[in-house]
Amino acid sequence: MPRPASMAASLTAFVRHAKLALAAAFLWLSAALAASAGPHLVVDAATGEVLTASHATDRWYPASLTKLMTTYTVLREIRRGAITLQSPVRISAKATEEPPSKMGFPWKTVLTVETALKILMVKSANDVATALGESVGGSEKAFARLMNAYAREIGMVDSHWVNAHGLHDANQYSSAHDLALLALRLKTEFPEQAGLFNIHAIRIENKLFRNHNGLLRRFAGTTGMKTGFICAGGVSIVASANIKNRELVAVVLGHRSAKERNLRAAELLTAASRRIRASDLPNLYEWPATGVPVAPRDISAAVCGRSDGSLEKLETEDAAAEYFPIRRATHEEREALYFSEETDKTEPLQLATGNATGPDPFGLLIDRPPVVLAEEGDGALQKRFELAGGTMVAIPAASPLQPELPAAAVVAESSGEEAEPETLSPTGKVVLGGVASAIPLPRPDAKSSAETAGKPADQGN
């Protein structure tokens, strides 16, 4: 029969270990629940295996994550032969009026496409985004049509774009699933541009601009991507990291602060790196189409004012929150688990204005460049009319520089309507976009026929 002393020692050891186990469990649950639970998704970039996801197809306001779609659209136009990285981007009067974040370049400043893309990925400048869209598409509206055509082609069924910068518009939205698809497309189709998403800082003249993505400086293995913030969509990020020789992509949407967003992304990436696959989640390329899409949530009150409970409602959908009175770990305790001290010594990339020597399909470098393009901006400029005050109005004509629209889009365009089905959301509101039939998707192939310039497969649909 065991001695009382040994039984007491065993019981003491058991209690001690139980306390440690509970403390560890509480810390883990605290980390999982500490952030307001906006949508998220983590995917293995090589295989498309989704390792964790929550509300992955909920439509969300993407803020400056939009600039990833802007970049993809520009790179597709380069591959199609319409422009090059050295083509001009001209700051228009409209671009100078965009709110921050912005570079503040004067009207008529000329950049190259390459410089504009680098500014977008580091400074997230809205004025440069607008100018890039106008210079590549002919007008902001025409460029948005390009964005939507390419988005539909790659299976982004819960996305709709109306501008190149991501400033709030109720008709501009995406989802964690779609943004993950976009990130993988950027990596797969344009591997030579990987460095574009990993620039720590840029310098223009005597001004230094550091990348808003703090993970680049503090989370080991980070390979880049993009951050975003607007009140309606919160603070969000698409982050990629190479952990244990696996390239992972995390999409984290709808947080209240950049610190919390960055920490949540680090937690999700770290946890996902320990998994081979999640048995209950489909592959990203085989994600089932949703029936009726969930309308975007406007979380302005929670992010920029008094909370209206939208984020807390999402948070408490995790049943674990109902089981334990959890002591949540402090932000500092969680940071210590994932982040190193900031010791970034990377030299900023020197950029300059001018030097645009590439194709100029919209005549941006002529002596009297047009400052107002026709609304659709569908082609080469054949006629120009000068108005009072010297304003040049350009009248475009049909041109192969823009991809052809499907017949349905042409019919809808003649009536001034979007060529996308309307869908009722659970709230009863009409949501543009609907559900497309692009899922399941073919996996992207770097040697696909879409790379051949001029092929119909690369004209958008």
Residue 206 one-letter amino acid: N
| β-pairing verdict for 392-396 and 372-373 | parallel
174 an active-site residue? no
124 an active-site residue? yes
Q: Which residue has the tokens 């496409």?
A: 113
User: Is the bond leading into 370 cis (omega within 30 degrees of zero)?
Assistant: no
| β-pairing verdict for 392-396 and 222-230 | unpaired
CB atoms within 10 A of CB 137: 28
- DSSP category for residue 88: E
- Residue pair 64/124 in contact (Cβ under 8 Å)? The answer is yes
Strand partners, 202: 209, 349
Q: Pick the catalytic residue from 36, 87, 92, 124.
A: 124
CA atoms within 13 A on the CB side of 296: 28
67 an active-site residue? yes
Q: Pick the catalytic residue from 36, 67, 123, 139.
A: 67
Strand order in the sheet with 50-54: 50-54, 40-44, 246-255, 234-243, 222-230
- Residue pair 40/54 in contact (Cβ under 8 Å)? The answer is yes
Strand partners, 203: 208, 350
Residues taking part in catalysis: 64, 67, 124
